[in-house]
């Protein structure tokens, strides 16, 4: 055998040398020159080297004899091990077992005689060496089919019998029954030694015997029977001895187990083994079995062990010690013995740990039920709160919270949330006027009602935390999150973690990441306290400290930097902060019959909602005709602004006032939908239904379906057209799902980088600036093939678009009108993007059959003064002027209706800005008419591109020009200031101009006091901004 190995090595070396010389002739020249020189040097040094060689030979023979003489005593020497417990229990007869407990050492060395002298003839191969030798003679290497060897079969049968005998004798010595105890009845038998392959059977048997001798209670199980161990259900300690055979493939007996855990990894079930499994992996291989030397390296001889170790680590299992990798080409014992010595201490700690944590019942449903449930509930209008809440819920299992549910608030029942012992994390945003988001509005209303009715009682024993999202440019900043806190406290619940207040203007996700990092320990404490509160809701719960101020320090408490997420393979180990894969909440059932499909577009053209409600809503919209569509900009301009009126005559529940908004439910481009269905390999006409995925249904009495925005039964085409947003910049949760669906490692890594914390800069450039659509992402990652349920769950709902109503009902017979810019732009890399709703309305407005699902969204604060004597300043550049047209129509009607005894109208100023008066002066005729008849006392315009100067003039500059007059109006009693338009730049610049005007032109004012004045006006509803980013 050794001769054959040497011959193979020589042949390989010679062929490699020939190939190298052919590719690099200069090396051949150097070798030709060096060879004679080396030969001459060898002849010269031979007289000196010969005595050294003879001495070395004599010394090695003596050392070998001494090693053999002491081998027996070394193997019998006991290790430092824990106190005895029970004896080994063999779950499945092994085809071969160890001889003495010295693992592989005696199997590959010659046996010594009783006198300690070496035998005169070589002993036959035994143990792992014999098994590896048989592996090398397998059909994969020799081209022959392996035949049944009667002698080997008989030997294996005898070995199996000997194993059973040892188990029985050991049981008698310990006083235990020789009958195997059920896994689920003996807590001390959760230690497994699993073997996969012929040689690994020998090694695993040796390890199990040593463990039993050390006082452990191991079970020896074949890896193809691993499911009997319930490793993913019940806390356990497992030592895997896994074999890699020909061409870096796992041994057949290891394949089932390895493929199972690798599939779990590919599904992205990170954390599924957290707190359940502690493990170690020992790999056995042989570089001589690597047939393809061009595509494999020496480390690939243990590829099966590497894959298993990576998968278990990704799934959240705790690694007890570094993976061992033994190569039989150099001797298995060279790696097995040192690895075994380092195993025992962590193994003892792991067994002690699970002994305390493993408790019946032993089935998965009961085990999940035994863990305290944590509810993650979101209220989200634009998708930010849902994104952040889902990320928290996905990370929770890896943090030790296996029983987690994540839902929109309207999917759960308030009474289930307010049960004693409940632990709840809310993530909720606040809209401009302080309204609750659409997917939590009914839940919030019920919560406030029950908290008022049963104050201090209905929420007793409930622990909660609130993370609020908002934008301080809005007048009702954090109104909803603070109201949630107030309602929960009134109900008697107690906060276990301070409320977070994330401000989009200061970095929404950065704040949320830090708040989330600090959440887990308080959540753990709350979960531990919950069982006692479930029994006694009056048990004292210390309230959390007051919520930290969101500015300037966005972190509630310093927290360590997040550890890198478990990598699916070594190529991803350097990625920092890869989020856990969100659990898919929905399951798809494909319908092959002909069910009655849900109606798309959703809505009715009846005079009232189907539910007989007072008003049409986003859930029950009115299908309106387009009465009029007019282009308001120069056709030559690259800006296209439309004025659109809707025929709502005869519809009750669509009453509106100036300042209200019209909600429009848009549709995706049909061409894009067809292209997406084709790329996904789905028939647009295929019909499906959605149900809750296993374990994802909300606990309690709620019967709400998953993904309520996808009304079922539905066709694939209808869902892609009406239900989900496929053009918005991709959120990181979507990127994480798409990454998991990639079979190409490079594409997977690219997407994981984009969704990781370490890839924040790449995400901003490639997703934030470039705004790729879903189709763009799929086409740029050809190997990505997401499941339909996973994709629907990851995509954001196609949200209603809100447009300010630009008319007063008394001026146009109650017909609502809106104005909007048709959104088209180019990205920094030259891609063209189009807005969903504006292009859809522009494309279809002239179609007489076109119907628009819409409803009226009432404004709480953005409304004209009810008294025309109150001074008012309106600032609305671009389409921001739209609501002020309605304001002024109302003001004109009020002035006309006033009698002689009515107070005189107060000053009314409008600041309007655009590019050029002959290009995009919106509602020019109306505005000039208001100025002419006195409805407006001042119409101040700013045309940014009419001046020959390189400096552009905007509305904030016009405010500065009239600063003294503006300041005088602002400080007048009952004055109102309204701002409408761009919130990213304009609103901030206008605010600064107003502060400057007050600070300079009002006695006793400085910048700080001016800011305080505007803040006080905001609280009083006299400084109101309706802005968008």
Instruction: Work out the burial of residue 215: count CB atoms within 10 Å of its CB; fewer than 13 is exposed, 13-18 middle, 19 or more buried.
Output: middle
Tell me, what's the pLDDT at 316? 84
Is the pLDDT score of 142 beyond 60? no
Residue that the structure tokens 């998965």 belong to = 364
Say if residue 140's pLDDT is above 60.
Answer: no
DSSP conformational letter for 767: I
Task: With CA atoms as reference, report the closest residue to 741 among 794, 688, 691.
Answer: 794
**Helix crossing, 963-970 with 986-1001: angle to 10°?**
90
Asked if 436 contacts 990 with a C-beta cutoff of 8 angstroms, the reply is no
Q: What angle do CA 707, 712, 716 make, to 5 degrees?
A: 90
Average pLDDT estimate for 592-612: 88
E strand or H helix at 582: none
Q: For residue 434, which phi and psi values (nearest 5 degrees)?
A: 85, 15
For strands 404-408 and 374-379, give the pairing.
parallel
Q: What is the mean pLDDT of the chain?
A: 80
Q: What is the per-residue pLDDT for 462?
A: 93
Closest alpha carbon to 613 in 438, 404, 374, 855:
855
Mean pLDDT value across residues 871-884: 96
Consecutive H or E run containing 383: none
CA torsion sign for 386, 388, 389, 390 is positive
User: Cα separation of 384 and 843, whole Å?
Assistant: 29
Predicted local distance difference test score (pLDDT) of residue 25: 79
**934: which DSSP letter?**
T
Residue carrying structure tokens 């997420």? 565
Confidence of residue 790 (pLDDT cuts 50, 70, 90): very high
How does pLDDT run across 527-536, given as a tens digit for each residue? 999 988 988 8
> Who contacts 136 (Cβ-Cβ below 8 Å, separation ≥6)?
286, 288, 289
Tens digit of pLDDT for each residue in 461-470?
999 999 999 8
The answer to whether 474 touches 430, Cβ cutoff 8 Å, is: yes
Closest CA to 749 of 726, 793, 781: 781
**Which residue reads 């009958």 in tokens?**
179
How large is the average pLDDT for residues 573-594?
Answer: 87
Q: What is the CA radius of gyration of the chain?
A: 38
Sheet holding 586-591, edge to edge: 586-591, 687-692, 714-715
- Position 173 scores a pLDDT of 33
Give CA torsion, residues 592, 596, 598, 601, to 10 deg: 110
- Pick 207 or 111 by higher pLDDT: 207
Chain segment 680-709, per-residue pLDDT in tens: 999 999 999 999 998 888 877 667 889 989
Greatest CA separation found in the chain? 132
Contacts of 505 (CB under 8 A, 6+ apart): 471, 472, 473
d(CA 634, CA 640): 8
Say if CB 169 and CB 340 are below 8 A apart.
no
Per-residue pLDDT tens for 217-239? 888 888 888 888 888 877 889 99
pLDDT band of 557, cuts 50, 70, 90: very low
Distance in angstroms (rounded) separating the CA atoms of residues 628 and 841: 12
Residue 770 neighbours by CB distance under 10 Å: 16
Look at 180 and 747; give whichever has higher pLDDT. 747
For residue 176, pLDDT beyond 80 = no
Position 5 scores a pLDDT of 62
- Does the structure show a pLDDT above 70 at 670? yes
Report the length, in residues, of the chain.
1029
| pLDDT at residue 738 greater than cutoff 80 | yes
Identify the band that residue 630 occupies on the pLDDT scale cut at 50, 70 and 90.
Answer: very high
Q: Which residues pair with 1023 in a beta bridge?
A: 977
Predicted confidence at residue 6, as pLDDT, reads 67
Cα(833)–Cα(830) distance, integer angstroms: 10
DSSP readout, 356-377?
Answer: HH--S--SHHHHHHHSPPEEEE
For 853-868, b where at least 16 C-beta lie within 10 A, e where not — what string?
A: bbbbbebbbbbbbeeb
Instruction: HSE, CB side, 13 Å, CA atoms: give it for residue 877.
Output: 23
Span of 106-110, 315-319, 517-521, 869-873 with lowest mean pLDDT: 106-110
Instruction: Give the span between the Cα atoms of 237 and 240, in whole angstroms.
Output: 10
HEC string for 81-128: CCCCCCCCEECCCCCCCCCCCCCCCCCCCCCCCCCCCCCCCCCCCCHH
State the pLDDT at residue 935. 95
Say if residue 601 is preceded by a cis peptide, omega within 30 of 0. yes
What is the predicted pLDDT for the residue at 976? 96
* 770, 831 Cβ separation under 8 angstroms: yes
Of 337-346, 745-754, 831-840, 900-909, the range with the lowest mean pLDDT is: 337-346
Mean of pLDDT values over 858-883:
94
Between residues 938 and 146, the one the model is more confident about: 938
Q: Is there a contact between 616 and 646 (Cβ–Cβ < 8 Å)?
A: no
Q: In the Cβ-directed half-sphere of 324, how many Cα atoms lie within 13 Å?
A: 28
User: pLDDT digit string (tens) for 374-423?
Assistant: 999 999 988 889 999 999 998 888 888 888 999 999 889 998 899 999 99
- CA pair distance 701, 209, nearest whole angstrom: 52
Res. 715: pLDDT tops 80: yes
Kind plus residue range of the DSSP H or E element containing 969: helix 963-970
**Dist CA 278 CA 358 (whole Å):** 13
Across 24-38, 274-288, 304-318, least confident range = 24-38
Contact (CB, 8 A) for 806 and 883? yes
Report pLDDT digits (tens) over 473-513.
676 788 889 999 999 999 999 999 999 998 887 788 888 98
Q: Which of 183, 182, 311 is nearest to 242 (CA)?
A: 311
* Tokens (6 digits) for 605: 């053209």
Instruction: Tell me: cis bond preceding 713? Omega within 30 of 0 counts.
Output: yes
Mention every residue, 6+ apart, whose C-beta is less than 8 A from residue 685. 715, 716, 717
If DSSP codes are grouped into helix, strand and coil, which group holds residue 715? Answer: strand
CA distance 131 to 118: 24
CB-based contact 664:837 (threshold 8 Å): yes
């Amino acid at each position: 055998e050794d001769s054959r190995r040497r011959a193979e090595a020589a042949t390989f070396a010679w062929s490699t040398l020939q190939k190298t010389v052919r590719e690099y002739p200069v090396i051949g020249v150097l070798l030709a020159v060096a060879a004679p020189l080396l030969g001459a040097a060898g002849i010269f040094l031979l007289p000196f080297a010969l005595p050294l060689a003879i001495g070395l030979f004599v010394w090695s023979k003596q050392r070998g004899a001494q090693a053999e003489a002491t081998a027996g005593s070394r193997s019998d020497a006991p290790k430092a091990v824990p106190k005895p417990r029970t004896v080994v229990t063999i779950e499945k007869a092994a085809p071969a077992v160890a001889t003495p407990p010295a693992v592989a050492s005696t199997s590959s060395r010659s046996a010594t005689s009783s006198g300690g002298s070496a035998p005169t003839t070589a002993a036959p191969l035994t143990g792992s060496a014999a098994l590896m030798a048989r592996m090398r003679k397998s059909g994969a290497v020799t081209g022959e089919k392996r035949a049944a060897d009667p002698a080997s079969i008989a030997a294996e049968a005898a070995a199996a019998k000997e194993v059973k005998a040892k188990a029985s004798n050991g049981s008698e010595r310990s006083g235990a029954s020789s009958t195997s105890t059920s896994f689920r009845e003996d807590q001390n038998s959760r230690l497994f030694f699993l073997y996969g392959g012929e040689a690994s059977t020998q090694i695993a048997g040796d390890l199990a015997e040593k463990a039993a001798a050390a006082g452990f209670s191991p079970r020896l199980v074949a890896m193809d029977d691993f499911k009997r161990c319930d490793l993913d259900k019940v806390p356990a300690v497992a030592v895997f001895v896994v074999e890699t055979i020909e061409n870096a493939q796992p041994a057949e007996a290891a394949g089932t187990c390895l493929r199972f855990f690798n599939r779990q990894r590919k599904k992205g079930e990170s954390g599924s083994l957290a707190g359940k499994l502690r493990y170690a992996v020992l790999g056995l291989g042989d570089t001589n079995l690597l047939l393809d030397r061009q595509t494999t390296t020496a480390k690939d001889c243990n590829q099966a062990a590497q894959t298993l170790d990576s998968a278990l680590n990704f799934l959240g299992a705790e690694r007890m010690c570094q993976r061992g990798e033994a190569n039989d080409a150099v001797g298995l014992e060279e790696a097995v013995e040192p690895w075994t010595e380092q195993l025992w201490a962590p193994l003892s700690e792991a067994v002690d740990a699970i002994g305390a944590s493993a408790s019946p019942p032993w089935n998965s449903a009961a085990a999940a039920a035994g863990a305290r449930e944590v509810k993650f509930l979101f209220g989200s209008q634009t998708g930010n709160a849902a994104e952040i809440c889902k990320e928290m819920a996905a990370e929770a299992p890896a943090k030790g919270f296996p029983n987690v549910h994540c839902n929109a608030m309207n999917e759960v029942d308030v009474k289930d949330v307010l049960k004693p012992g409940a632990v709840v994390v809310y993530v909720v945003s606040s809209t401009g006027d302080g309204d609750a988001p659409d997917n939590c509005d009914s839940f919030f209303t019920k919560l406030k009602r029950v908290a008022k009715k049963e104050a201090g009682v209905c929420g007793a024993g409930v622990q909660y935390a609130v993370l609020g999202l908002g934008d301080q440019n809005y007048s009702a900043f954090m109104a909803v999150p603070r109201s949630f806190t107030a309602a929960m406290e009134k109900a008697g619940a107690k906060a276990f973690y301070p409320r977070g207040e994330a401000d989009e203007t200061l970095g929404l996700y950065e704040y949320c990441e830090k708040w989330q990092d600090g959440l887990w320990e308080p959540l753990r404490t709350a979960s531990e306290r919950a069982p006692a509160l479930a029994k006694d809701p009056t048990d004292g719960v210390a309230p959390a400290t007051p919520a930290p101020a969101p500015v300037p320090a966005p972190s509630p408490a310093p927290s360590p930097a997040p550890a890198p997420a478990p990598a699916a393979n070594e190529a991803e180990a350097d990625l920092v902060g890869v989020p856990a894969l969100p659990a898919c909440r929905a399951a798809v059932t494909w319908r092959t019959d002909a069910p009655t499909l849900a109606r798309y577009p959703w809505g009715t053209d009846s005079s009232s909602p189907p539910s007989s409600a007072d008003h049409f809503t986003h859930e029950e919209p009115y299908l309106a005709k387009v009465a009029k569509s007019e282009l308001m900009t120069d056709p030559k301009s690259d800006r296209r602004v439309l004025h659109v009126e809707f025929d709502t005559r005869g519809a009750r529940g669509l009453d509106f006032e100036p300042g209200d908004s019209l909600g429009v439910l848009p549709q995706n481009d049909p061409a894009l939908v067809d292209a997406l269905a084709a790329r996904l390999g789905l028939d647009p006409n295929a019909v499906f239904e959605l149900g809750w995925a296993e374990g994802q249904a909300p606990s309690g009495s709620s019967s709400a379906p998953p993904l309520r925005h996808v009304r079922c039964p539905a066709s694939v085409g209808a869902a892609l057209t009406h239900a989900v947003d496929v053009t918005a910049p991709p959120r990181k949760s979507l990127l994480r799902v798409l990454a998991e669906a990639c079979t190409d490692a490079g594409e997977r890594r690219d997407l994981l980088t984009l969704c990781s914390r370490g890839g924040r800069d790449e995400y901003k450039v490639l997703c934030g600036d470039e705004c790729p659509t879903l189709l763009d992402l799929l086409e740029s990652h050809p190997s990505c093939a997401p499941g339909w349920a996973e994709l629907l769950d990851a995509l954001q709902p196609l949200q209603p678009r809100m447009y300010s109503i630009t008319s007063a009902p008394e001026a146009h017979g109650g017909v609502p009108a809106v104005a909007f810019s048709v959104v088209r732009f180019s990205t920094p890399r030259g891609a063209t993007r189009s807005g969903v709703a504006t292009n859809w309305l522009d494309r279809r407005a002239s179609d007489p059959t076109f119907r628009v699902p819409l409803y009226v969204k009432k404004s709480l604060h953005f409304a004209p003064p009810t008294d025309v004597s109150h001074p008012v300043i309106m600032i609305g550049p671009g389409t921001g002027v739209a609501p002020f047209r309605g304001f002024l129509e109302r003001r004109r009607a009020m002035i006309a209706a006033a009698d002689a005894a009515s107070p005189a109208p107060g000053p009314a100023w409008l600041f309007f800005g655009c590019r050029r008066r002959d290009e995009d002066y919106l509602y020019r005729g109306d505005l000039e008419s208001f100025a002419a008849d006195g409805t407006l006392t001042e119409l101040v315009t700013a045309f940014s591109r009419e001046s020959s100067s390189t400096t552009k003039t905007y509305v904030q500059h016009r405010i500065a020009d009239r600063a003294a007059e503006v300041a005088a109006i602002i400080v007048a009693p009952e004055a109102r200031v309204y701002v409408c338009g761009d919130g990213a730049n304009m609103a901030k610049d206008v605010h600064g101009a107003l502060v400057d005007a007050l600070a300079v032109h009002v006695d006793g004012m400085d910048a700080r006091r001016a800011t305080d004045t505007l803040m006080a006006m905001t609280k009083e509803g006299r400084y109101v901004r309706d802005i968008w980013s």
